[in-house]
Amino acid sequence: MARRLQDKLAAFFFEYDTPRMVLVRNKKVGIVFRLIQLVVFIYVVGWVFVYEKGYQTSGGLISSVSVKLKGLAVTELQSKLQVWDQADYVFPAQGDNSFVVMTNFIMTPQQAQNYCAENPEGGTCKNNSGCTPGKAKRKAQGIRTGKCVAFNSTVQTCEIFGWCPVEVDDNIPSPALLREAENFTLFIKNSISFPRFQVKRNNLVEEVNASYMKTCLYDKKLHPLCPLFNLSYIVQESGQDFSSLAVKGGVVGITIDWDCDLDWHIRHCKPIYEFHGLYGEKKLSEGFNFRFARHYVENGTNRRHLFKVFGIRFDILVDGKARKFDIIPTMTTIGSGIGIFGVATVLCDLLLLHILPKRHYYKQKKFKYAEDMGPKAGEHDPAATSSTLGLQENMRTS
């Protein structure tokens, strides 16, 4: 027993096993084998290393965006001229990565808290029984008093207590009142950071200086790095028509993409701008609008001008990543690539042992069969044979 344990320990520490190799001289199998290896090599080098940058590690970014708009528009309502600047037509006024430029509006002037007939959109009536006091429907513009009164010479509606006169928004001005908005300019300042690599960058890159900023206007071919944009150009590049969009409003997405290879100089890390129309051609709830009011006091009475604003909402979306050489993903990719080369062996074995006409002959050469029989009494255990005899046997059978 002790002798057998000693032999097993000696075999474990002092012997080395290697698989027997069978050299097959077959042109078809040889060509298939090398072609598969070539395809795997092209995949590993071309796709994994060159295209997918398998030798690099990557990290995401954090971003901050601020915007400024410049431009003037003039409207003439009820024979009165009014000039609109960025303080009037930009919401929110401080600028953010999501903002609205007003292009059209319906104004209900000089509203005050009072009693009046509600808009027929809230429902019509024939007598007081159709107006429940204290009730407000979904489209109501105030609290009902219980009276049915004349809205005009032909229509009766419920009387309400609210902001009077009520808003009537049936007729949207066309063309848009602030159609000069297409000439407004937008300045985008985007600052980013790649925390993993401790790199900071902004879209005012080395090519963008004070003198360049005075004359440039973004063009994807002529001035792809200029941070000043014409609104009509943005809408056009998003696949929409500014004049049509300005009437009822819409949404445009501005994407800023940073794809930075930090193995090169940081000056090669530059933004790429793209523009997208986000609403499509939906007829239901078409456009983009909201309401705001300008309050004032007149003779001790609180009043307001109510605006239903139609505008273009711009959403600025920043995305990207940075990449840099790292030994760990490099070694992982190399190891995976070497492992993929085993596909050639598996496929060629399948061809050799199961498809070719001489498959039975190749099976005999590749596999060595042994019966499952233990040693008889007085016979030596084959497991205890020396490594020298085993090597000689392998040499004879190769």
Positions at the binding site for ATP: 68-70, 185, 289-291, 308
Contact 307, 106 (CB under 8 A): yes
Cα separation, 92 vs 107, in Å, equals: 19
* Token couple for 64: 């901050």
Question: Is 334 in a helix, a strand, or coil?
Answer: helix
Contact 244, 235 (CB under 8 A): no
Using CB atoms within 10 A of its CB, is residue 377 exposed (0-12), middle (13-18) or buried (19+)? Answer: exposed
| Cα–Cα nearest to 167, from 298, 309, 308, 286 | 308
CA 125 to chain centre: 51
Q: What is the dihedral of CA 178, 182, 184, 187, to 10 degrees?
A: 130
Residue type, 331: M
Q: Which residues contact 262 (CB under 8 A, 6 or more apart)?
A: 194, 197, 199, 269, 322, 323, 324
Cα separation, 308 vs 167, in Å, equals: 9
Q: Which residues contact 231 (CB under 8 A, 6 or more apart)?
A: 101, 181, 182, 183, 184, 185, 186, 242, 312
Q: What is the DSSP letter of 49?
A: I
Q: Summarize the annotated binding site as residue ranges.
A: 68-70, 185, 289-291, 308
Residue type, 4: R
